[in-house]
């Protein structure tokens, strides 16, 4: 039977269309799969979270295999992203998202003054995580500064209010506490703090905002958060539903400039996925944010305490809601989060291990962090190496992050966050870096050494001889040839194509016999350790590590 020419054209067109659809599908899925492959980047694998993209050079940023960074704040950063991609097309780029806390003030680009975050101004009290509160015993107008309350302590006889803290009043206002009169059951406040002052009737609720990170309030991520009608969203949403609309751009009108919405995921940047910051399964530890005074987290807005298990279950349900919203919209994106406190890897593609304890290490601490989970500790997280045991289809994306300064975000007497790198006599702790880098090399994660959690890489980029073998080039160890091994001495070793690592997580010096002759790095920063010598036996100090090269 002879086929009419028009049908040949139609058949050819349909075939080409089918091939196009298949190719697009392969392209869209390959980015995530290729990013997660075991041999995507040779070792050491280097990562960085929140460097200063305005001061770092393109080549400095391109040095890292993994970058956790916003590039969609302005067109200048978008151009940087494109230039980095040309130099290092294999670099994995994840957009940071911060759902669990909202910043109270933003810097106005034109005046450089701090202004209330326009987003916070419009959010209802239900969207903030609050301490169990009290009720107004008399009505107040917009200028009343003394709030009379029906109680000052909670059911566990702990204070409900804290000097310098902030309180939510009713559904739409917040105020800052100036003084507390425990005998008179009253607090003196600065009205209209971030959210505008309004009139309030007797019987309205007054409750302390939960704070963790300076300059921000913790948000009500739990699935117990009430649904509220928000302008710009068609139907009532809880906080997670609101936040999802924020990041996909449905609420950019809140801001004077859409770029001020730093959680917005712009289509102009081809991110490989997302890192969700401070999104642990168990957040009930927030009841200890005031030190030795335990506070009640008001989960159901009923002035009653709940158990840690009940609060954490509700919080975890909220985190899962956001995950599934992201996964449904960004099907092929890599999604990792910061420090999940779970037994298994679950459905995330990896995590950031924002570690501490390197300042005063112990063997038991190291073993729990890296090798085995202490099941007696409620908040203990999954060990680093477990990520690489539970996943068989791909290598999970894990960033092993270590700090020079393990303290919190402290200010000096002038109210400015101090940056140790600005001290002309600053010298990094090379031993801590070696110990943590070689620890990371026991697994297949990426490694980052930064100043502290306040600034991450934005405070300055430190570069070490061990990163690129004193200028030879990154990835100089090649790929691992086997899993890590624990020796009788307690030390760990792992062999690579072009070298090996030895980690000593014990409090005694260890001596390790080598299977062949290896060479130490010929270093400049710590020449007493990286001597460049050939050796058949290596001696490693307590809580230290070393990289050795095949000669």
Quote the CA–CA distance of 103 and 118 in Å, as a whole number: 10
Note the pLDDT of residue 412.
Answer: 65
For tokens 């290596």, the residue is 538
Note the pLDDT of residue 33.
Answer: 53
**What stretches of 256-308 adopt beta strand conformation (E)?**
273-276
Quote the CA–CA distance of 248 and 270 in Å, as a whole number: 14
Quote the CA–CA distance of 225 and 228 in Å, as a whole number: 9
Note the pLDDT of residue 29.
Answer: 43
Reading phi first (left if > 0) and then psi (alpha if -120 to 50, else beta), residue 455 is in alpha
Note the pLDDT of residue 109.
Answer: 74
Q: Write the CB contacts of 113 (distance below 8 Å, at least 6 apart in sequence).
A: 107
Q: Is 248 in contact with 256 (CB distance < 8 Å)?
A: no
Closest CA to 530 of 464, 453, 458: 464
State the CB neighbour count (10 A cutoff) for residue 139: 13
Backbone angles phi, psi at 228, to 5 degrees: -130, 145
pTM: 0.90
Q: For residues 445, 450, 452 and 456, what is the CA-based torsion angle, rounded to 10 degrees?
A: -80
Quote the CA–CA distance of 152 and 158 in Å, as a whole number: 9
Note the pLDDT of residue 212.
Answer: 92
**pLDDT tens over the chain, length 551 residues:** 444 545 444 455 545 555 444 444 443 444 445 444 444 899 999 999 999 999 999 999 999 999 999 998 888 999 999 999 999 999 999 999 999 999 999 888 778 888 999 999 999 999 999 999 999 999 999 999 999 999 999 999 999 999 999 999 999 999 999 999 999 999 999 999 999 999 999 999 999 999 999 899 999 999 999 999 999 999 999 999 999 999 999 998 888 777 788 899 999 999 999 999 999 889 999 999 887 789 999 999 999 999 999 999 999 999 999 999 999 999 999 999 998 766 655 689 999 999 999 999 999 999 999 999 888 888 888 899 998 875 545 679 999 999 999 987 766 666 666 788 888 899 999 999 999 999 999 999 999 999 999 889 999 999 999 999 999 999 999 999 999 999 999 999 999 999 999 999 999 999 999 999 999 999 999 999 999 999 999 999 999 999 999 98
Note the pLDDT of residue 454.
Answer: 87
Note the pLDDT of residue 25.
Answer: 43
Say whether 167 sits in a helix, a strand or coil.
strand
Note the pLDDT of residue 10.
Answer: 47
Note the pLDDT of residue 17.
Answer: 52
Q: Is 117 in contact with 101 (CB distance < 8 Å)?
A: no
Quote the CA–CA distance of 457 and 56 in Å, as a whole number: 10
Quote the CA–CA distance of 222 and 321 in Å, as a whole number: 10
Note the pLDDT of residue 104.
Answer: 95
Q: How far is CA 384 from CA 130, 133, 241, 381, 390, in A?
A: 33, 39, 32, 9, 11
Helix (H) or strand (E) holding 86: helix 75-87
Q: How far is CA 207 from CA 78, 169, 335, in A?
A: 42, 7, 34
Note the pLDDT of residue 415.
Answer: 62
Q: Write the CB contacts of 204 (distance below 8 Å, at least 6 apart in sequence).
A: 135, 136, 169, 170
Written in H, E and C, the secondary structure of 394-422 is CCCEEEEEEECCCCCCCECCCCCECCHHH
CA angle 74, 80, 82 (to 5 degrees): 110
State the CB neighbour count (10 A cutoff) for residue 114: 12
State the CB neighbour count (10 A cutoff) for residue 368: 17
Note the pLDDT of residue 40.
Answer: 80
């Amino acid at each position: 039977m002879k086929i009419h020419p028009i049908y040949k054209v139609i058949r050819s067109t349909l075939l080409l269309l089918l091939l196009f659809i298949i190719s697009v599908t392969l392209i869209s899925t390959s980015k995530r799969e290729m990013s997660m492959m075991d041999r995507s980047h040779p070792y050491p694998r280097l990562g960085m979270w929140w460097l200063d993209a305005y001061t770092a050079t393109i080549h400095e940023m391109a040095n890292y295999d993994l970058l956790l960074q916003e590039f969609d704040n302005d067109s200048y950063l978008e151009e940087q992203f494109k230039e980095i991609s040309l130099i290092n097309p294999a670099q994995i780029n994840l957009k940071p998202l911060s759902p669990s806390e909202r910043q109270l003030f933003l810097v106005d680009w034109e005046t450089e003054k701090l202004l209330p975050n326009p987003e916070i101004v419009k959010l209802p009290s239900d969207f903030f995580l609050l301490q169990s509160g009290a009720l107004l015993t008399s009505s107040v107008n917009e200028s009343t500064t003394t709030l009379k309350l029906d109680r000052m302590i909670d059911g566990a006889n702990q204070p409900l209010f804290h000097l310098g803290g902030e309180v939510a009043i009713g559904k739409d206002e917040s105020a800052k506490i100036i003084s507390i009169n425990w005998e008179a059951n009253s607090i003196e406040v600065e009205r209209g703090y971030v959210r505008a002052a309004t009139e309030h009737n007797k019987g309205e609720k007054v409750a302390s905002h939960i704070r963790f990170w300076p300059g921000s309030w913790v948000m009500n991520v739990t699935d117990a958060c009430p649904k509220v009608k928000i302008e710009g969203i068609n139907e009532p949403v809880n906080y997670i539903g609101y936040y999802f609309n924020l990041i996909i751009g449905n609420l950019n009108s809140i801001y004077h400039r859409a770029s001020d919405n730093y959680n917005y995921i712009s289509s102009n940047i081809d991110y490989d996925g997302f890192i969700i910051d401070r999104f642990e399964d168990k957040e009930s530890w927030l009841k200890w944010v005031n030190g030795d005074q335990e506070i009640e987290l008001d989960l159901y807005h009923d002035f009653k305490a709940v158990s840690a298990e009940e609060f954490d279950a509700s919080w975890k349900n909220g985190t899962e809601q956001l995950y599934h919203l992201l996964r449904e919209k960004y099907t092929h994106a890599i999604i990792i989060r910061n420090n999940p406190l779970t037994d298994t890897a679950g459905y995330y593609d990896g995590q950031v291990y924002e570690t501490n304890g390197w300042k005063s290490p112990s063997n038991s601490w190291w073993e729990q962090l890296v090798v085995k989970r202490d099941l007696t500790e409620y908040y203990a997280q999954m060990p680093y190496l477990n990520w690489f045991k539970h996943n068989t289809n791909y290598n999970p994306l894990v960033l092993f992050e270590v700090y020079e300064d393990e303290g919190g975000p402290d200010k000096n007497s002038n109210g400015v966050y101090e940056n140790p790198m600005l001290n002309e006599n600053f010298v990094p702790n090379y031993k801590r870096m070696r110990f943590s880098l070689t620890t990371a090399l026991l697994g297949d994660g990426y490694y980052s050494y930064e100043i502290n959690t306040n600034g991450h890489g934005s405070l300055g980029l430190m570069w070490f001889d061990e990163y690129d073998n004193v200028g030879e080039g990154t990835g100089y160890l090649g790929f691992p040839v086997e899993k890590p091994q624990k020796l009788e001495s307690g030390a760990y070793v792992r062999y690579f194509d072009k070298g090996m690592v030895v980690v000593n997580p014990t409090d005694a010096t260890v001596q390790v016999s080598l299977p062949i002759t290896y060479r130490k790095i010929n270093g400049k920063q710590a020449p007493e350790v990286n001597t460049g010598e050939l050796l058949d036996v290596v001696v490693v100090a307590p809580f230290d590590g070393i990289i050795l090269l095949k000669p």
